[in-house]
Chain A
Amino acid sequence: MKPRLRDRLTSIAARTFPRSHRGDARVVRDCARDAVDARGPRALARESLAIAGAGLRVRLAMDTRDVRGAPWRPALAALTLPLAAALLCVWTFGFLPLYDHWPLGEGWALLLSGSVLALIGAAFAARWVVLLGAAAMFVAAGAPYVGYGTEKALSGTPTFFPGSGVDLGAASLIPALLLAVGALSLPRRPQRSLRTVLDRLLLGLLPTAVALVHLLPREAPQPTTSFVYDELPARGSSVAKPEVVFGPPYEFPQLTASKPLLTALGIALLVAVVLSWRASRTRPEAALATALVLVSVAWPLAWTMHGYAVWPQIIVPLGVAFALTLRAAHAARRSSGSAELSPEPAASPP
């Protein structure tokens, strides 16, 4: 048995222990070396694997403890404004280019008023207002999927989100739920100043303002074109001659996949990830909030990345969210300086 191989393998395995448990790692490693010396080289692989397993178990226990103790409530409260702003921007993108109908359908009325309400509530840190707005959006976006409003022809439903690209209606369901949970995490009696509220309101309206600049002035809506077949194809001919009918502009709202919107949302997410990753030591709640939003949109994001499927691209947003969560949780534990999380002498290894 070459001592160098033994030392190298056991040292590598001991690196699975977290830094805060270096002393424990050394004791376990040296214990394993004693065992390999006594039992022979056949014990080396078994001992090395056991060291690695023990280190990973310690790491898992620490991570679980840190994640449980992470500042989830402030994180949920922190995501209300950006999430409400993003949802208002999404609905604006869906509403402006295609809608040419008055009065509003109940779906659009709920979506637009809900997102505006949520944004105002987030600016004022008013939990029930945000909750009401989020609930309105959730109901409006989810209603067609449980059959509400689809008793008419599919194209005539008050709100329906075609799934040919990204079904933004379905994609907004989990973020709307997350917004509702975030609303409940807002403080019951927030300390708000007029300046702060105005700043938050302006910040929240900024994405929609940019969207309006992009979308307006919109093109005149195109009339719908219908092909009417009055008779069966003539004998020997495979195609019947249709009568082309030009109708009024398409009056029902749709939210089709929009490349600029998806690109903007992707860039916003990327910026949020980078900024909150860098600031996670000082503001762990921001990193946790970004992770939560990433998880809530992981499915449509992966769908967009792949083109028409989710696997395996969904690993990317979920993996980034996981890394953000761990980083923020560790940072929160370190910043709180909680002595109870450091290893106790009684729980030390052999």
Chain B
Amino acid sequence: MHLRPASYFVLASLLDGPLHGYAISARAEQLSGGDVRLTAGTLYGALERMARQGLVQMDREETVDGRLRRYYRLSDQGRDAVMSEADRLAAAARVVKRPRPAPIRSAV
């Protein structure tokens, strides 16, 4: 399963344990070096889609300072998906970074 960058970083943000909405958004931004900035509405859509795909699960709900927070955790399938994507990206990066043989020129 290929993951979009936003989905990849959302899943990656949950690797260390359950997080609530804003914490996921902040962690994804941190992990991506500021490339992935998710609003609450966008995150809602992404988490809804990933929950349907079985990649994340709702963990619990808490009210903190009068604000309702819903925590999410990675499912086993989500963990496998983010690991596979990491391997795929690493393999793709290796192709670019390792020394490459000279290109084959066709004899005309």
Contacts and interface: CB of A to CB of B under 8 A. Distances in A.
B11 interface: no
Interface residues of B, number: 26
A32 B40 contact: yes
A262 B42 CA distance: 50
A350 B40 CA distance: 8
B45 A57 contact: yes
A24 to B, nearest CB: 7
A285 interface: no
Interface of B: 20-22, 24-26, 39-45, 47-48, 51-52, 54, 57-58, 61, 67-70, 72
A31 B48 contact: no
Chain A's interface: helix, strand, loop or mixed, by majority? helix
A35 B40 contact: yes
Contact of A28 (B24, B26, B40, B72): B40
A26 B70 CA distance: 10
Nearest to B57: A346
A246 B72 CA distance: 90
A50 interface: yes
A350 B44 contact: yes
Contacts of B57: 346
B39 A50 contact: yes
A33 B51 CA distance: 23
Nearest to A56: B41
Nearest to B49: A347
B58 A50 contact: no
B39 to A, nearest CB: 3
20 contacts: A27-B69, A28-B21, A28-B41, A30-B67, A31-B20, A35-B25, A38-B26, A47-B41, A50-B40, A54-B45, A55-B41, A346-B51, A346-B52, A347-B48, A348-B48, A348-B51, A349-B70, A350-B21, A350-B47, A350-B72
A34 B51 contact: no
A50 to B, nearest CB: 3
B35 to A, nearest CB: 16
B70 A38 contact: no
A50 B67 contact: no
A28 to B, nearest CB: 5
B95 to A, nearest CB: 35
Contact residues on A (Cβ < 8 Å of other chain), bracket: 20 to 34
A177 B22 CA distance: 54
Given A26-B68, A350-B72, A50 B51 contact: no
A345 B70 CA distance: 11
A348 B41 contact: no
B41 A52 contact: yes
Interface in A197-235: none
Given A346-B57, A346-B58, A31 B51 contact: no
Contact of A38 (B21, B22, B44, B47): B22
B22 A34 contact: yes
A222 B48 CA distance: 73
A278 interface: no
B51 A32 contact: no
A292 interface: no
